[in-house]
Structure 1
Amino acid sequence: MTSGNRRVVVTQRFFDQATIDYLTAAGCEPVQAELPPGQADGNLTHQELKERLTGAAGWIVGHARVTRELLAELPDLKIISRRGVGYDRVDLAAARDLGKVVCIAVGGNHESVADHTIALMLSVGHRFRETQNNMIGGNWAILLGSDLYRKTVGIIGLGRIGKSLVQRLSGFEVKVLAYSDVRDDAYAAQTGVRYVGLDELLARSDYVSVHAPLTPQTRFIIGRDALSKMKPGAFLINAARGGLVDDAALLEALRAGTIAGAGLDVYLSEADPALKPVTQALIELPNVIATPHAAASSREGLDRTNMVAARCVVAVLDGSDPAPECVVADGRVK
């Protein structure tokens, strides 16, 4: 049994018993923070987070904003471990300055997100929502949809999720175009993926799927100009981050028929509640398939990411190093 502060606060829902047992066996004291019904940790205020985290050495977090002000008020906190791979809501510079470690759960959810992306493509292409709504109203008329089979799919961002998507798409015999800052020519030769510029990808793709991280360079990578370059019959899929797509511009494009439809799992309004009306208008469109940032939330995917996040916490509390691919900030003095 290890000594010292080993209190680990979990502010995420759906935290499985096997991971709780792992933390306990590692000498930690896991505490599941109580959340108001229907809310996630992203809804908690600064004060509410502080009250739950005071005295904790580890924090397994979902979508809460991890600010400099909050970290400064939590001197006992050693590690912030995200159950997910995005970290745009974490002040990494503050974590480094204050001697803390920030980790992400790399390798835990990319298969689930790739599955979800395929589901969005098929659902919007085959007009499942429109058809079922018509049937509920008594109209069983057949609506013609669009195949994914042998189409051209453009993938923006070819990391783990993008590559998992390529693997799934191989069964549909599609042509895959990729736009990515990092090129893997050996992978491209093996899979038949072709790296192209963004404009070519937009102009040629029947489905455009966004899987890039949200950075100042990628913010609104799909805006009015990009949407105008897509095929009129094309579909846009965003299961990555709100902010990669200009939702107001997308709403205009869908209403105008600039593109055929969209499959959305993330929204700008997640970070800016003032944009809720835009999100509401998008999800009410008949040619939009929408889910509530749920792509990674399969039972299996959450179990995997829970364990990756927990292993990072244990490593830091043990004074060792988490898996290198999981560390995005390390303020410990070495």
Structure 2
Amino acid sequence: MMTKNLLKQAGLDQGLPSHFEEGAWVEVIQRMDDIYTNLVQYQIELEEKNAELERAYTELKQAHQALKDTQQQLIQSEKMASLGRLVAGVAHELNNPISFVFANMHALLGYEKRFLQYLEAIHNNVSLAQREQLRKQLRIDRIMSDIRPLLEGSMEGAERVSEIVKNLRQFSTPASQKPEVFDLVALCKRTVLWLVRSASIKIEVVHDCPEQLMIYNYEGYVSQILVNLVQNALDAMEHQAQPCLSTALQIKDSQVWVQIRDNGTGINELDLHKLFDPFYTTKPIGKGTGLGLYISYGLATEQCRGSLSARNYYEKGQNGALFELSLPLKWSDAHG
């Protein structure tokens, strides 16, 4: 009866039949006890599951950050490999203005000696006739007329060197840059020039481009993509009798399409869908990393808001591979 009285005091006996026995009440309470115990157990398990989910989320976040860091390292590694491909061509490009500046400086040093000799004679109060004779002997008048062209030529050479170094810096440190306006035509021609000069074979180059095309994008990233595409084209023509590299720029649908075409053997149809996979390469061991096209695809689609594709072409009795890079003409029209 005690259990029944306790339930009555607690107001839990309402609506139950009067003949409900105490044994039944005990069974109900035990059942409720079991339910409460199960609820507590479920709550503990739920808290453990939440803790596991939090740990899994933290691990996933860390893995994602590690993946991003690894991707940046791969980009940096491939960028350095691409930079290495440019070295020979850049060295040749730097050699001309540096040689010009060196020759001009050598001439100016010789002129300095003549000026010092002439000024020393004036300071020693030589006669006017002796001074005029020395002036003709040292060719002072010719030197005076030659100094400005020498200085202007040296300045032009120094500016050319500065421009080349600036272009290399934009290529080597694209991650630190912001989008800016640049001439895509000049970038394409410069990239092709540097790489073709460093090639071990003589290559015919054909450009089908306007005089100038200004776009707003990441110049360093676009440069890295072009280096990889042009280098791939050069590698594909390594054993061709008459290698020819063609570039073309076309504007359609608010996009500029950059085409890099070679007259090599083309791409195996089975390889086409795997070209942009990481570490996939058809080149011999030690010749390629399998990361160039993979990284180029990521740069084109993510950083540059464009696209990158590849296909074979057959026209006018020629065949080869054709890579197409699309970039937005207007940044605001691009996705993202």
- TM-score interval, smaller chain: under 0.3
Tell me which structure has the larger Cα radius of gyration: 2
Task: Say which structure is richer in helix.
Answer: 2
Q: If the length of structure 1 is used for normalisation, what is the TM-score?
A: 0.22
Q: If the length of structure 2 is used for normalisation, what is the TM-score?
A: 0.22
